[in-house]
Amino acid sequence: MAVTMRDVAKKAGVSPVVVSRVLHGRATTVRVSPATAERVRQAAEELGYRCNVFARSFRDGQTSMIGILHGIGFARPIFSQGSRYFAALMDGLVEGAFRHGYSVTLCPKLMGGSPEEGINDGRFDGLIWYSTDPVEENRRMLLASRVPLVLIHTPSALLEGRFPSVRCDNAGGIRLAVDHLWNLGHRRIGFVVGESRPFTETSERMTAFRNRMDSLGVPVTEDDVLLYPGAHDLENLDRYLAAGPRHTALVCQHDGVAATVIDRARLFGVRVPEQLSVVGFDSTAFCNEVEPPLTSVSQPLVDIGSKAVDLLVRRIRGESPEPYDLVLPCGLDVRGSTSTPPLNPKVD
């Protein structure tokens, strides 16, 4: 049975109010002599008294907990396999939370009668949303939030400017990828999308690809954008590779897509990078496990997670985060999956 303040008070021969003053700094109007305070502390130690953090949280109106939300209908994130995107992002979130003295809960789903109730039931001091899925159900859930909330990857404007956001410069990252390939001599560059759902960051990256190619005098056509909807439907990608790539280089939506392209290319005898250069987006440690190692736009995932917590803590404290919509620059990590184009590329 847990030891209570009344137990400590009885052993020390004082009132519970005195115990509260000595052990928790409360009841400030009560004067306690040094000798009495020492007797209370000794009684608490002998009885093994521990503060009830749940009761204190209820009393203070704060839980020191941050909830990490992804979205309705999503499978749990995988940290140890695949592109390591989630692992890198969580490193930043945990780093920021620990720096501010908060615990982190990664929510598989929100309990309560509805998601709207779940995010407002008092278990979290604040929430971080790290999805780019703009479906109406997610949008409605977020706009119903009455607790401080920060967005990752989603621009604040997409949710009526209600919440601060942290994201990378998708357009700048794609420009780096295209310019790298262009400077190597590539002119026939395609873009590969691995999901059919209209994720915000996917749209931004596709638009940036079109804009950069247009500015270089090579307008993008429908044939320059390859869609295969995930790992379970590779028909489009396989057909493209089996016919012999019509591009000398591909910029991919993210590292998982790029790794799939390289893996399938090997099955069809397409050599990377001798016949086809491939660039990913994220540049986690996973890129060094791909063969050949994957050239990739480096999204600052750890910084994104850490700075999102910084903004959230300011919101929890009632402060105004600055900047409200934080965009972090990307870099480019050149590895073995890109080289100069082949001397005799396929011509349609």
Is 58 within a domain?
no
Q: 18-22, 132-136, 198-202, 280-284: which has the highest mean pLDDT?
A: 280-284
CB atoms within 10 A of CB 281: 29
Q: What is the pLDDT of residue 59?
A: 47
What DSSP string runs through 232-292? Answer: T--HHHHHHHHT--S-SEEEESSHHHHHHHHHHHHHTT--TTTT-EEEEEE--GGGGTSSS
Are residues 175 and 271 part of one domain? yes
Are residues 284 and 176 part of one domain? yes
Is 119 within a domain?
yes
Instruction: Read off the CATH number of the domain in which 268 is found.
Output: 3.40.50.2300
Are residues 109 and 10 part of one domain? no
Averaged confidence pLDDT in the chain: 85
pLDDT in tens, 97-144: 999 999 988 875 554 444 455 555 567 888 898 876 656 777 777 787
pLDDT in tens, 143-185: 877 789 999 988 888 888 889 999 999 999 999 999 999 999 9
- Report the SS3 class of residue 113: coil
Is 136 within a domain?
yes
Judged by average pLDDT, the poorest of 6-20, 99-113, 333-347 is 99-113
The alpha-carbon radius of gyration of the chain (Å, integer) is 27
Q: What is the pLDDT of residue 14?
A: 87
Is 212 within a domain?
yes
If one counts the domains in the chain, the total is: 3
Q: What is the pLDDT of residue 70?
A: 74
Look up the domain containing 208 and give its range: 170-299
Are residues 267 and 294 part of one domain? yes
What DSSP string runs through 154-165? Answer: S-GGGGTT-S-E
Instruction: Please compute the mean of the pLDDT values over residues 304-315 and round it to a whole number.
Output: 95
* pTM, entire model: 0.78
Name the H helices within the chain: 5-12, 16-24, 34-47, 53-60, 85-99, 115-118, 136-143, 170-184, 200-215, 235-242, 255-267, 301-316
pLDDT score of 27 more than 70: no
Residue bearing the bigger pLDDT, 124 or 312: 312
Q: What is the pLDDT of residue 80?
A: 72
